[in-house]
């Protein structure tokens, strides 16, 4: 059961081969045993989880269950969940118990009947690519415990890779679903901006943040995505579109599919082994009937610099709410109100968050706004237009997800720019608001490699289909880390 797909779990629950309480217990026991090594979860509450499982069993018994009712999942600790500690990886929220549910939480648990196994570790306020900025300590990669799982959804990635959970949620502002998925041999999907509600999802950079599924396969991602999406009046950027069944077209043949290969993704800067695995995956797609066309994203080299103006600008504004007044951490001793604000924020935020607040405040300040923020927004438009142009001659774009496999803990922690370059292939997708995926496509030195698929707006169904067909023809996504029992 630990290795079963969501479909298999759904069938086993429906056939009463196992109850949700039994299934959830299996995973909770495994978390208890393996989490001390991996540090993938920051909050586990067996009693709460089993209560949800018992309610799911009652739904199954009464015939009112949905396809995923009773299946346990892990929630990134960026989603507010009523009665659960919700930390966002920060000391600032280390003792914050949310009084309400994020829309994603409400949909997955209340509506779809999934069981929460707990909240997963993450980079502080989702700022990072290695999970090392978490106040709760780094997460270890199940493939090699000396290495990072990627970030910021590193806890979710490690949890699913080590089968502490059948699937998990992540969020992706610049690559935080796709890069950890790549580094942990998972399938992860960042939907089109506006498809998944951001209500109750603690904001980092609001114009880029998007929640999505992380799981073993495209099929699992499709089933999970079905429970996450939908128009939400409480999120002003939520899109009112007809509901889709993302699992419907998974089996569609790929004959005639046009794969765009941007020359900027196949130049220097990528590890040779990673590149070889990505090229082999593309060759596999050609066998499945796809054809390749050369495309160009001429402004993609500007995506990291533009992102590190826009994302910190939005973060500096979003994080101003953490002031010690209404909720979260407050410094113990202070002389007056200003002193309280200063000490609270100095003590409550970690170094990376402070760096972003400083950069963001600077680029938004009078006199620099035009030079930095406005320029970055113009570049963002150019980057989005590059994709519009590229999609005139192809259906999906492919390339590496991350320029390297999982790096060692501490290897990039001292050099923010090196860390920022981990997302060199993923960030443009967020700036353009497009859907993107990472799919396991091989190993280098025993470490997983991810193939990135980028689709046109609202093409998540197509991306899942393209990923699923590949997973039917290959078995990379079925490999599990050795040494975990
Ligand atoms: N690694 C990028 C950053 O640090 C992206 C993070 C994310 O997608 N949340 O901002």
pLDDT confidence of residue 208: 98
Distance CA 478, CA 185 (A): 9
Domain layout of the chain by residue ranges:
6-232+246-256+436-478
Distance CA 43, CA 88 (A): 11
In sequence order, the β-bridge partners of residue 144 are 141
Q: Where are the extended beta strands (E) located within 145-209?
A: 167-171, 187-190
Is 152 annotated as catalytic? yes
Q: Residues 224, 227, 230, 232: is their CA dihedral positive or negative? A: negative
Look up residue 111 and give its two tokens.
């509506």
Phi, psi of 189 (to 5 degrees): -130, 125
Among 31, 142, 151, CA closest to 89: 151
Ligand 1 centroid to Cα of residue 159, in Å, is 19
Cβ atoms < 10 Å from Cβ of 323: 17
Identify the H or E element spanning 221.
helix 218-228
Report the pLDDT averaged over residues 26-44: 98
- For 221-270, how does the pLDDT look when each residue is reduced to its tens digit (9 = 90+)? 999 999 999 999 999 999 999 999 999 999 999 999 999 999 999 988 99
Checking if the pLDDT of 442 tops 80, the result is yes
Residue with the two structure tokens 């009046």: 233
Checking if the pLDDT of 343 tops 80, the result is yes
Report the pLDDT averaged over residues 113-135: 98
- For 302-322, how does the pLDDT look when each residue is reduced to its tens digit (9 = 90+)? 999 999 999 999 999 999 999
Considering the candidates 176, 238, 316, 422, report the single residue annotated as catalytic: 176
Distance CA 142, CA 34 (A): 10
Q: Is the peptide bond before 152 cis (omega within 30 degrees of 0)?
A: yes
Distance CA 222, CA 248 (A): 9
- Per cent of the chain over pLDDT 70 is 100
Nearest-CA residue for ligand 1 atom 5 is 174
Distance CA 84, CA 425 (A): 34
Distance CA 455, CA 418 (A): 27
Considering the candidates 19, 152, 197, 438, report the single residue annotated as catalytic: 152
Structure confidence at residue 484 as a pLDDT band (50, 70, 90): confident
- For 196-231, how does the pLDDT look when each residue is reduced to its tens digit (9 = 90+)? 999 999 999 999 999 999 999 999 999 999 999 999
Ligand 1 centroid to Cα of residue 13, in Å, is 37
Ligand 1 centroid to Cα of residue 111, in Å, is 30
Please work out, in degrees rounded to the nearest 5, the angle formed at the alpha carbon of residue 172 by the alpha carbons of 296 and 84: 175
Identify the H or E element spanning 337.
helix 337-348
Distance CA 277, CA 443 (A): 7
- For 419-435, how does the pLDDT look when each residue is reduced to its tens digit (9 = 90+)? 999 999 999 999 999 99
Question: How far lies 202's CA from each of 74, 173, 216, 463, in Å?
Answer: 17, 12, 25, 27
3-state secondary structure of 399: strand
Ligand 1 centroid to Cα of residue 409, in Å, is 17
pTM equals 0.98
Ligand 1 centroid to Cα of residue 313, in Å, is 14
CATH superfamily assigned to domain 6-232+246-256+436-478? Amidase signature (AS) domain (3.90.1300.10)
CB distance 174 to 307 below 8 Å? yes
Is 438 annotated as catalytic? no
pLDDT confidence of residue 268: 87
- Counting ligand 1 atoms within 8 A of each CB, the residue from 156, 175, 354, 428 with the most, and so the one to mutate, is 175
Checking if the pLDDT of 483 tops 80, the result is no
Atom of ligand 1 nearest to the CA of 311: 10
Summary mean pLDDT of the chain: 97
CB distance 444 to 271 below 8 Å? yes
- Counting ligand 1 atoms within 8 A of each CB, the residue from 173, 181, 191 with the most, and so the one to mutate, is 173
Considering the candidates 20, 76, 134, 156, report the single residue annotated as catalytic: 76
Report the pLDDT averaged over residues 72-94: 98
Report the pLDDT averaged over residues 363-377: 95
Ligand 1: residues whose CB is within 6 Å? 126-129, 152, 172-176, 204, 311, 423
Is 98 annotated as catalytic? no
Report the pLDDT averaged over residues 90-119: 98
Identify the H or E element spanning 102.
none
């Amino acid at each position: 059961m630990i290795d079963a797909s969501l479909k298999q779990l759904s069938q086993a629950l429906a056939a009463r081969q196992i109850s949700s309480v039994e299934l959830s217990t299996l995973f909770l026991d495994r978390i208890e045993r393996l989490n001390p090594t991996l540090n993938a979860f920051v909050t586990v509450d067996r009693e709460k989880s089993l209560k949800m499982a018992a309610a799911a069993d009652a739904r199954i018994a009464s015939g009112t269950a949905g396809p995923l009712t009773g299946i346990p999942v892990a929630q990134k600790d960026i989603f507010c969940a009523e009665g659960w500690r919700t930390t966002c990886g920060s000391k600032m929220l280390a003792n914050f118990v949310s009084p309400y549910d994020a829309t994603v939480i409400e949909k997955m648990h209340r509506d779809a009947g999934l069981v929460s196994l707990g909240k997963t570790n993450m980079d502080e306020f989702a700022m990072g690519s290695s999970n090392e900025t978490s106040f709760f300590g780094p997460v270890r990669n199940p493939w090699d415990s000396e290495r990072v799982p990627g970030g910021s959804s590193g806890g979710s990635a490690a949890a699913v890779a080590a089968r502490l959970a059948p699937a998990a949620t992540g969020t992706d502002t610049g690559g935080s679903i796709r890069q950890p998925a790549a580094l942990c041999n998972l399938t992860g999907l960042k939907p089109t901006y506006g498809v998944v509600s951001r209500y109750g999802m603690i904001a980092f950079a609001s114009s880029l943040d998007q929640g999505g599924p992380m799981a073993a396969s495209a099929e699992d991602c499709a089933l999970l995505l079905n429970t996450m999406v939908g128009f939400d009046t409480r999120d002003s950027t939520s899109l009112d579109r007809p509901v889709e069944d993302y699992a419907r077209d998974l089996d569609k043949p790929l004959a005639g599919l046009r794969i765009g290969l941007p020359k900027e993704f196949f130049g220097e800067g990528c590890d040779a082994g990673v590149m070889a695995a990505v090229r082999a995956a593309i060759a596999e797609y050609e066998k499945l009937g796809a054809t390749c066309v050369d495309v160009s994203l001429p402004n993609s080299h500007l995506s990291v610099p533009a992102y590190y103006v826009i994302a910190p600008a939005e973060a500096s504004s979003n994080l101003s709410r953490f002031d010690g007044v209404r909720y979260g951490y407050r410094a113990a001793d202070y002389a007056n109100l200003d002193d309280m604000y200063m000490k609270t924020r100095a003590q409550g935020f970690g170094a990376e968050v402070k760096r972003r607040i400083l950069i963001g405040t600077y680029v938004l300040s009078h006199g620099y706004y035009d030079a930095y923020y406005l320029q970055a927004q113009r570049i963002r438009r150019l980057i989005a237009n590059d994709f519009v142009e590229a999609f005139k001659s192809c259906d999906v774009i492919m390339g590496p997800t991350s320029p390297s496999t999982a790096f060692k803990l501490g290897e990039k922690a001292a050099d923010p720019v090196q860390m920022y370059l981990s997302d060199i292939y993923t960030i443009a997708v967020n700036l353009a608001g497009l859907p993107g995926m990472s799919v396991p496509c091989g190993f280098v030195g025993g470490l997983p490699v991810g193939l990135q698929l980028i689709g046109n707006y609202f093409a998540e169904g197509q991306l899942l289909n393209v990923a699923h067909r590949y997973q039917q023809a290959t078995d990379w996504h079925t490999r599990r880390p050795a040494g975990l029992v």
